[in-house]
């Protein structure tokens, strides 16, 4: 099995990180390139996900909302018939009154599904060490990590340096 | 030139400044926390006393079956509101001034709903049976009445609590990760577990931002619905003073009004205690003041509309109710409300007042007193003089209710103060996002 290395570049600001990402993607790095940054940066996201699919989280939000809405109308109607409580001569199944419960359940399930799908796709919770991650990446440094065969790591390192990385480290990836 | 309220410090300084709030507590903090615990103990004692002796020890009796407990409930739900408004609605509007205050506002929401949720239970004759409000299969073959606004309220408040907690957690994850990477010892373990192993990789941020947007989009109608549902607890009945269609917007505006005031009450001392003046600038407070002016205007207009409709309706019960409020024996409560909610906020029309932090702090407390009295007027005054004079009756506030109300403040501040010391109470992720740092492209 070929052994790989992680080449980890530390960048100081958004502009140099974006320039480096664009250059590295032009070099042909795609899935082996990973970026870590301390806050959501739409520019970086744009550079990395150009031509790729949108996050599937939205489908789960929709699904949760639908399940909540239909589920709430179903259980309110069924329960009102199963245990009939006549109120002011209104029909047992009074849809307008149930809209409130259905609305709340739509939001509730929509939110829960969104959270769980976000956790699932972002692969959290995950308490194992994440290769290539450095503590600085959560405070103020931008990190670009490339997984590359061991004998190529010097080339990548030099490339990162030429792209303006403040510091470049190499970590054994196995 | 940088924009007003712009943050021009570098990322590492932001990180250090915000994480400084997590340093070991000062004597001042400890004193505040201990006073919160003392208030909480008073409240707990009163509740235990009420449980042992029965609900009769509270001042609620016929015809005023909803007294201070429900006043407190509506007050705390109202406080909760502006947290979600700031975090969700202003997020969708991309209002930059929300960034430094939204985390503490969200924390306030979560703890205020936790406080509010206690009151309907405290108000129950048999509080241990509170779960009977939920539709669950039971051996009595009973289901709850879905046509009752009180049941809607159970769904609205519990959904609101759940969604605010989830929204709060989702915003906290990257910040706890930043705290984890600087922490040592026990804190490191706590933050490692609570940050769920967040790394901030581009794949994670992509799903995170999608989820965050949806959370904001879901929370926005929710925030408007919750206080509307709370207002229907009143408006769906035909009690004079309650039976009105303006209640939902009036309650929502009032809630935002009181919530913003509470955000000021909390952030003004924090700002000076943690030297965060460069993040929470006068500009931020001016923006909040403008929103307070606006909501104060809506609330004042709603009060006037109630009087107008009482006159216009030609309904003698409604008319008497609105004569009773300013001139009856509970008139001081009414005039306190008018002074605090309609007159005092008028000072904000002067820029000098809007930018005077000391005055804003005083005003925020005045507004909260006023908003508590607003709910007191709606609930107690309306029930005091309902329909037939033979059924009218006075309200005698008991020391148990006063003690529990004090305890609710203790409970709220107990959690809030703990949160401030345990987790980042300012969103360092979003502050970094809007910071104007060095050479960078627009994003």
Whether the predicted pLDDT of B352 surpasses 90: yes
B178–chain A Cβ distance below 8 A for any pair: yes
Is the Cβ–Cβ distance between A17 and A37 less than 8 Å? yes
Task: Quick: pLDDT tens for B11-55.
Answer: 888 888 888 888 888 898 999 999 999 999 999 999 999 999 999
What is the residue extent of each domain of chain B?
17-132+149-425
B436–chain A Cβ distance below 8 A for any pair: no
Tokens of B363: 């005003």
Determine the Cα angle at A149 with ends A148 and A152, to 5°. 85
A:83-112 residues touching chain B, CB 8 A cutoff: 83, 85, 87, 90, 94, 97-98, 100-101, 103-105, 107-108, 110-112
Integer Cα distance of A140 and A13 in angstroms? 8
Task: Quick: pLDDT tens for B138-192.
Answer: 888 899 999 999 999 999 999 999 999 999 999 999 999 999 998 889 999 999 9
Tokens of B247: 């209640």
Q: What is the pLDDT of residue B440?
A: 45
Long-range contacts (CB closer than 8 Å, 24 or more residues apart) made by B333-336: B333/B373, B333/B376, B333/B377, B333/B380, B333/B381, B334/B373, B334/B377, B334/B381, B336/B369, B336/B370, B336/B373
Sign of CA dihedral B213, B217, B218, B222: positive
Enumerate the residues of chain A whose CB falls inside 8 A of the CB of residue B204.
Answer: 122-124
Inter-chain CB proximity B197 and A124 less than 8 Å: yes
Q: What is the pLDDT of residue B42?
A: 97
Determine the Cα angle at B205 with ends B201 and B207, to 5°. 125
Domain A4-54+133-172, CATH: 3.30.70.120
Determine the Cα angle at B7 with ends B4 and B11, to 5°. 165
Enumerate the residues of chain A whose CB falls inside 8 A of the CB of residue B199.
Answer: 36, 130, 133, 137
Residue A87's pLDDT band (cuts 50, 70, 90): confident
Task: Name which of A82, A126, A139 is nearest B143 (Cβ-Cβ).
Answer: A82
Closest CA to B426 of B55, B175, B132: B175
Give the ipTM of the model, two decimals please: 0.93
Inter-chain CB proximity B181 and A139 less than 8 Å: yes
> CATH 3.30.70.120 region(s) of chain A?
4-54+133-172
Enumerate the residues of chain B whose CB falls inside 8 A of the CB of residue A41.
Answer: 205, 433, 443
From the candidates A62, A89, A107, which should be mutated to test the interface with B, based on the most B CB atoms within 10 A?
A107
B27, B39, B424 from B33: Cα distances, Å? 10, 10, 18
Helix (H, G, I), strand (E, B) or coil at B274: coil
Determine the Cα angle at B234 with ends B231 and B236, to 5°. 100
A122–chain B Cβ distance below 8 A for any pair: yes
Task: Quick: pLDDT tens for B409-441.
Answer: 999 999 999 999 999 988 888 888 888 775 544
Is the Cβ–Cβ distance between B427 and B175 less than 8 Å? yes
Task: Name which of A15, A111, A122 is nearest B207 (Cβ-Cβ).
Answer: A122
Inter-chain CB proximity A140 and B177 less than 8 Å: no
Whether the predicted pLDDT of B327 surpasses 70: yes
Enumerate the residues of chain B whose CB falls inside 8 A of the CB of residue A67.
Answer: none
């Amino acid at each position: 099995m070929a052994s790989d290395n992680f080449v980890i570049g530390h960048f100081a600001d958004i502009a140099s990180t974006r320039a480096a990402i664009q250059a590295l993607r032009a070099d042909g790095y795609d899935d082996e390139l990973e970026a870590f940054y301390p806050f959501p940066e739409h520019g970086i996201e744009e550079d990395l996900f150009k031509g790729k699919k949108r996050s599937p989280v939205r489908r789960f939000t929709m699904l949760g909302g639908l399940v909540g809405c239909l589920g709430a109308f179903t259980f309110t109607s069924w329960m009102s018939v199963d245990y009939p409580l006549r109120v002011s001569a209104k029909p047992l199944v009074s849809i307008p009154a149930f809209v409130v419960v259905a609305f709340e359940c739509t939001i509730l399930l929509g939110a829960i599904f969104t959270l769980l799908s976000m956790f699932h796709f972002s692969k959290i919770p995950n308490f194992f060490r994440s290769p290539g991650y450095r503590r600085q990446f959560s405070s103020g440094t931008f990190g670009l990590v490339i997984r590359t065969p061991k004998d190529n790591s010097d080339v990548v390192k030099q490339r990162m340096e030429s792209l303006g990385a403040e510091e470049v480290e190499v970590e054994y990836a196995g | 030139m940088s924009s007003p309220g712009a943050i021009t410090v570098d990322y590492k300084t932001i990180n250090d400044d915000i994480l400084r709030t997590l340093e070991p507590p000062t004597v001042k903090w400890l004193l505040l926390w201990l006073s919160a615990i003392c208030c909480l103990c008073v409240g707990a004692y009163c509740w235990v006393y009420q449980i042992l002796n029965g609900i009769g020890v509270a001042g609620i009796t016929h015809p005023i079956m909803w007294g201070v407990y429900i006043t407190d409930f509506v007050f705390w739900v109202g406080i909760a509101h502006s947290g979600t408004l700031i975090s969700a609605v202003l997020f969708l509007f991309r209002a930059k001034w929300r960034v430094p205050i939204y985390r503490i506002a969200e924390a306030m929401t979560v703890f205020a709903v936790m406080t509010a949720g206690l009151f309907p239970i405290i108000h129950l004759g048999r509080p241990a049976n509170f779960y009977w409000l939920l539709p669950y299969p039971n051996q009595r073959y009973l289901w709850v009445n879905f046509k009752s606004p009180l049941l809607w309220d159970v769904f609205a408040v519990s959904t609101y609590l759940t969604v605010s907690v989830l929204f709060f957690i989702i915003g906290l994850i990257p910040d706890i990760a930043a705290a984890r990477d600087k922490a040592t010892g026990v804190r490191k373990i706590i933050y490692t577990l609570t940050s769920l192993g967040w790394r901030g990789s581009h794949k994670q941020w992509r799903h995170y931002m999608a989820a965050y947007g949806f959370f904001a989009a879901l929370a926005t109608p929710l925030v408007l619905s919750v206080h509307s549902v709370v207002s229907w607890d009143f408006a769906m009945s035909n009690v004079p003073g309650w039976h009105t269609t303006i209640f939902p917007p009036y309650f929502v505006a009032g809630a935002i009004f009181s919530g913003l005031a509470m955000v000021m009450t909390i952030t003004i001392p924090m700002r000076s205690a943690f030297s965060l003046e460069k993040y929470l600038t006068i500009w931020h407070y001016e923006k909040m003041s403008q929103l307070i002016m606006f909501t104060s205007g809506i609330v004042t207009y709603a009060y006037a509309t109630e009087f107008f409709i009482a006159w216009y309706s030609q309904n003698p019960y409604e008319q008497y109710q609105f004569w009773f409020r300013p001139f009856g024996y509970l008139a001081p409560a009414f005039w306190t409300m008018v002074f605090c909610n309609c007159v005092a906020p008028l000072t904000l029309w002067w820029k000098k007042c809007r930018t005077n932090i000391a005055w804003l702090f005083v005003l925020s407390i005045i507004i909260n007193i006023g908003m508590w009295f607003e709910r007191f007027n709606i609930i107690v005054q309306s029930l005091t003089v309902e329909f037939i004079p033979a059924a009218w009756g006075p309200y005698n506030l008991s020391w148990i209710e006063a003690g529990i109300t004090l305890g609710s403040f203790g409970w709220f501040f107990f959690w809030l103060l703990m949160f401030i010391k345990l987790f980042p109470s300012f969103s360092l992720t979003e502050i970094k996002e809007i910071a104007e740092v060095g050479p960078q492209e627009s994003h």
